[in-house]
Amino acid sequence: MTAIIDDYLDRAVARALRGPARDRNPRVGCLLVDPAGEIVAEGHHAGAGTPHAEVAALAAAGPRARGTTAYVTLEPCHHHGRTGPCTHALLEAGVVRVVYAVPEPTERATGGAAWLQEQGVKAEHHPHAGSYALVADWARAAALGRPHVTWKIAGTLDGRVAAADGTSRWITSAEARMDAHQLRSQVDAIVVGIGTALADDPALSARDADGTELAGQPLRVVVGHRDLPAGSQLTRGPAPALHLRTHDPREVLRTLADHDVHTVLLEGGPTLAGAFWAAGCVDELLVYVAPVLLGAGSAAVPDLGITTIDDAARLRLVDLTRVGPDVRLRLVPTAATPDPEPASPSSPAHALVPASPIQED
Ligand SMILES: NC(=O)c1ccc[n+]([C@@H]2O[C@H](COP(=O)([O-])OP(=O)(O)OC[C@H]3O[C@@H](n4cnc5c(N)ncnc54)[C@H](OP(=O)(O)O)[C@@H]3O)[C@@H](O)[C@H]2O)c1
């Protein structure tokens, strides 16, 4: 029986993937299955302001929804947002059982399964890894109350990110840079300071080894008051970069949340990244270390105001991987913000206690 439920939820995940990859809301899929095991209808959420997956499936099923079981990747919502509660829609349509993979992690929309149970609709939680993966970024951002931030550093053994003359291309290997490009394609936004934009004129796109742009392109963001020169790469490309003329990391993240950003890759430079660190806005570090010495030049990390070893910022190593001739370390601050490991049944997204301005509707 468990395998059959997993099959239905796998299919619900496949359906959910038709929804937009970047949106205020998570992607959700729903299947309505009759007592003979036949799929009566499927639905997915096509983005904020459109019907939720359950409502889309119910609309496709019409009267055939009566007596079915709903297999849903996320617990049906139980609140009035831009659309009505899915719990009410399921009850009114005569659905007799609801199997959901991920408990609703936001306080605002939670309680759906318990309410359905009270109304006589059997509600079962069936943990399912694919469904957790679908909502992991959204749930992390909801738990943090802002986008999740990964600070990426590509540095030398002696912690430098540029030589004394300001040149920094390239410290790490082509393999490490390709690895970082893959990461870019998986986040919602890349953020750099205007100092980096002026020094390096980066494109901040996600590209493969021959320079072709990958399928997922993040929002490109530059932070700082100075202007970008006309013709710089950030003024060109598939979409112009967002230029935020502020020095306040929290303001940056609030603005990005308004742009439906759940995950941020902070690519420096040291001044901006140090400001994010000081504001408590770094959740994870991804550090590519090249077997290179410079002895002088910009330090990867600016002065953090630490004067004695007892006050050192300590990090926890969660992964160490060799990438070509370099190594990649994934670390989290020890007084951390939620664990960045992908949510799975053993580290469920709902364990991240939410208090969320990033809300589902
Ligand atoms: N190897 C790597 O991983 C890597 C990555 C990135 C950069 N780099 C290197 O780092 C160097 C640039 O570093 P950087 O530290 O000068 O550049 P940055 O951090 O990219 O930009 C600093 C500028 O951003 C603005 N800014 C935004 N928020 C700020 C805040 N809270 N506090 C202060 N200023 C803020 C300021 O400009 P306004 O006064 O105009 O607002 C400031 O001068 C370049 O050589 C680049 O190649 C290396």
| pTM across the whole model | 0.81
Start-to-end Cα distance in the chain: 32
**Same-domain check for residues 157 and 265:** yes
pLDDT digits (tens, 9 = 90+) for 36-87: 999 999 999 999 889 999 999 999 999 999 999 999 999 999 887 766 799 9
- Rounded CA-CA distance 346/104 in Å is 16
**Same-domain check for residues 250 and 101:** no
Q: What is the DSSP string of 117-183?
A: HHTT-EEEE---HHHHHHHHHHHHHHHHTS-EEEEEEEEETTSBSS-TTS--TTSS-HHHHHHHHHH
- Nearest CA owner, ligand 1 atom 16: 195
3-state secondary structure of 70: strand
Q: Is residue 262 part of a domain?
A: yes
Split into its structural domains, the chain has a count of 2
Torsion angle (degrees, nearest 10) of CA 125, 129, 135, 137: 140
How far is ligand 1, taken at its centre, from the CA of residue 190, in Å?
14
Q: Is residue 131 part of a domain?
A: no
User: For residue 346, what are the CA distances in angstroms to 102, 284, 341?
Assistant: 12, 20, 11
How far is ligand 1, taken at its centre, from the CA of residue 244, in Å?
13
Return the pLDDT at 82. Answer: 67
How far is ligand 1, taken at its centre, from the CA of residue 17, in Å?
37
Q: Check which CATH number belongs to the domain holding 340 and give it.
A: 3.40.430.10
Q: Is residue 139 part of a domain?
A: no
- Nearest CA owner, ligand 1 atom 28: 247
Q: Is residue 22 part of a domain?
A: yes
Domain span holding position 72 = 2-126
**Same-domain check for residues 209 and 170:** yes
Name residue 191's beta-bridge partners. 221, 266
- Rounded CA-CA distance 127/26 in Å is 17
pLDDT digits (tens, 9 = 90+) for 96-155: 999 999 998 887 778 999 999 999 999 999 999 999 999 998 988 988 999 999 999 999
